[in-house]
Structure 1
Amino acid sequence: MNLHANETNGAILVTVEEARIDAACAIQFKDQMREVTEGETNRVIVDMTKVNFLDSSGLGAVVAAKKQLGTGRSMELAGLSDTVRKVFRLTRMDSIFPIHDDVQSALDQAHAE
């Protein structure tokens, strides 16, 4: 699992550099998310632009990563492909995660609030 994280505009931006989040890498995703999101930053934005497949194990790993953040910290998703967005919509997880069209709109929203 290849994740890159950096702090930008008061948020941790995590870029998923993989085409799939599935049973083969779900545990690695969850573990690496814990590592890269340690700290005090309240807002985590996950750039999923390169992800074109997400199965139930991958969805579970994304939910687990959100839970790992604890209360008072948010996890937002950006750049979901139509296929991945459909998984979030069908499971109603789109009501749990703020979903942005792209990273820039996620960052811009912080300035609008």
Structure 2
Amino acid sequence: MNLQSEDVPGARLITVGEPRIDASAAIQFKDKMRELTGDSPPRVILDLSQVDFLDSSGLGAVVAAMKQLGPGRVLELCGLTKTVQKVFRLTRMDSVFVIHENTDAALSHSAAS
């Protein structure tokens, strides 16, 4: 699972460098997210702009990544493709996560907060 992590002011930006988060990748995704967020700042931004496909296992893995952050830390999403955005909308997970249009919007939200 190709995840790139970068600390930016007030947050950790994690970019998914894979076209799919599905049943075959969900466990690797969760493990890698746990590794990358163990010592993260309170705000974690997950860039999904390269992800073209997300199934229910992938969605569950994203939710699990949010839950493993624990209290006092938040997982925000950005760069959702139309297909991935549809999954979040249909499952109403778009009301659970803060979703930004792109990384620039997510980072400027950080500066405004």
Normalised by the size of structure 1, how large is the TM-score? 0.98
RMSD value over aligned CA atoms?
A: 0.7
2:15–2:47: 8 Å Cα contact kept in structure 1? yes
Which residue in 2 is equivalent to 1:23? 23
Tell me the number of residue pairs that the alignment of Structure 1 and Structure 2 aligns. 113
**Residue 74 in 1 paired to residue 74 in 2?**
yes
Which sections of structure 2, spanning at least 5 residues, go unmatched? none
**Percent of paired sites with the same residue:** 61
Q: Distance in 1 between matches of 2:24 and 2:30?
A: 12
Which sections of structure 1, spanning at least 5 residues, go unmatched? none
What is the letter of the counterpart of residue 18 of structure 1? E
Greater than 2 Å deviation, 4+ residue runs: none
Alignment of 1:34-73 (within 5 A): 34-73=34-73
* CA deviations over 1:63-106 (Å, ceiling 9, x no partner): 00000000110000000000000100100000111000000100
Q: Distance in 1 between matches of 2:92 and 2:101?
A: 17
Q: Distance in 2 between matches of 1:73 and 1:18?
A: 25
Normalised by the size of structure 2, how large is the TM-score? 0.98
